[in-house]
Structure 1
Amino acid sequence: MKGLEFDFLKVTVTDAVDIILVALIIYYIYNLIKNTLAVNLLLGMVIILVIHWVVDALKMNLLSTIINQFMSVGIIALIVIFQPEIRRFLLLIGKNTFLQQNKAWWGYLFGSKNIERDNLVRIKPIIDACKSMKKSRTGALIVFVKFYDDQLFANSCELIDSKISKRLLESIFQKYSPLHDGAVVIAENKIKSASCILPLTDNDKLPPQFGLRHRAGIGVSETTDAVAVIVSEETGEIAYAKQGRVRMNVSFGELEKLLNKDF
């Protein structure tokens, strides 16, 4: 394809598309790793590359051999080190596909006209439970996932597999309940499990008042496609975590809209 010609280079339409795609990938990677430990890992790798270049230039054979051995694992080391970020990147791509972004239209075309009404029926007990827990200052962490990952949740949770109920949610997070520590996981329109131990976020720039409940909610939203609703035990304030970002002081109207939009 014929492109623009200059004295020192030739730029085609394909080259322009290539540059735009690379820029988008860099932008998405930046959004995934900012404010996480991955930034420090990446910086450490850059420092090792600089040292490698210096020791080669200075003919320091012993140190150069050691660094070469370390770098020989190459792509395998990158996959192991950046496994959480790679997982998040693939999830981000999947969530932004045409089919995912237009699922409401597809549901309408295939006869699912009552999806929004059904969602309101399922979400209402959750909203009511959050209202009650906010009033009583009961700490809670409710995680919503589209696909229940047995490896991630089942090994560290108590299986419930029950219909979503306001009273059940309140009883789980009640202070003296044996299940109140940890998170409740909701999937497939059911309370799948409770007392789940979740990975904490690596973000070292969160406010100091964020406790384990907030950090766990943010952490699970970083590594999976889940969203988390957090009720603060100290203030009763409701927070909403998605893709590693947290929205504070969410009203019940906003919470209902967010849950309907994401699920």
Structure 2
Amino acid sequence: MSHLVPPILRAAPELDVVLHDARSPCDAEVAVCWNPPAGALASLPKLRLVHSIAAGVDNILSDPALPAVPLCRVVDPQHARGMSEFVTWGVLHYHRQLDRVMANQRLERWFRHDQRDPSGCSVGIMGLGEIGSRVATDLQRLGFTVRGWARNTRELPGVATYAGPQGFRPFLQGTDILVCLLPLTDETRWILNAATFEHLPPGAKLIHVGRGEHLVHLDLITALTSGQIGGAIVDVFPAEPLPAGDALWRAPNLIVTPHMASVASSETIGMQVAHNARLLTRGEPLQNVVDVSRGY
């Protein structure tokens, strides 16, 4: 976290910024964190605000001793752009059959697959918040048939949308490439499981850029081995870095990426943290406050 001190101070030089392990933080009013040890935030008697350094806050909400103070997250427009770039790469990787090309290269086999129109490829986006909506819109503009699923009904031009538990199975049944961009809540934890995979068309692909605890690893490995899932890109994991020897490293037709889909810049994090610290000092409404009851 030391890399965030300079950008926070550049944005608000009047702040006193210290690292948790540098000296006693007992006077801290704002805690800037990502995955704090359980109970660490409760040990700060003057705490008035907890600020995540990312869009996700599940690592903070999982603390049973989390103090009852506002929780804010970082919202970076460039984060949505970066995520859209990554997902678009994954969709094109499978749509242009580059996974098969790479397998053929290892076999020294020259074979050119037919080029298919993107309208014949249905991409399903799980999660239609700011990032999911951007990804869906960008893919739709490229000519893909895009469908989306969310907790509540959403409308996006050119995108078929489904909502709630009753819409989940119909959403899956028409999806060739499934993209997970959900927040992590009690309802979405382990949602990428055997039952979900079974409702997809045989050979469907998965691009998982949500949260690590959305995915049941053993169920994915089983689905990849059987061919029910024809290929997957997984960027997020419950434990990071992914431990050496983990079965996912060797799973068939799986690409493991090191949580690189999109990351907010240190400058953006610093500016948003500093801005909320100033708002807190002035007693004004904070920005990007998390609804703790919803988890995002």
Smaller-chain TM-score bracket: under 0.3
- Whose helix proportion is higher, 1 or 2? 1
* Structure 2 length-normalised TM: 0.22
* Structure 1 length-normalised TM: 0.24
Q: Relative contact order (C-alpha < 8 Å, sep 6+): which is higher?
A: 2
Choose 1 or 2 for highest CA Rg: 1
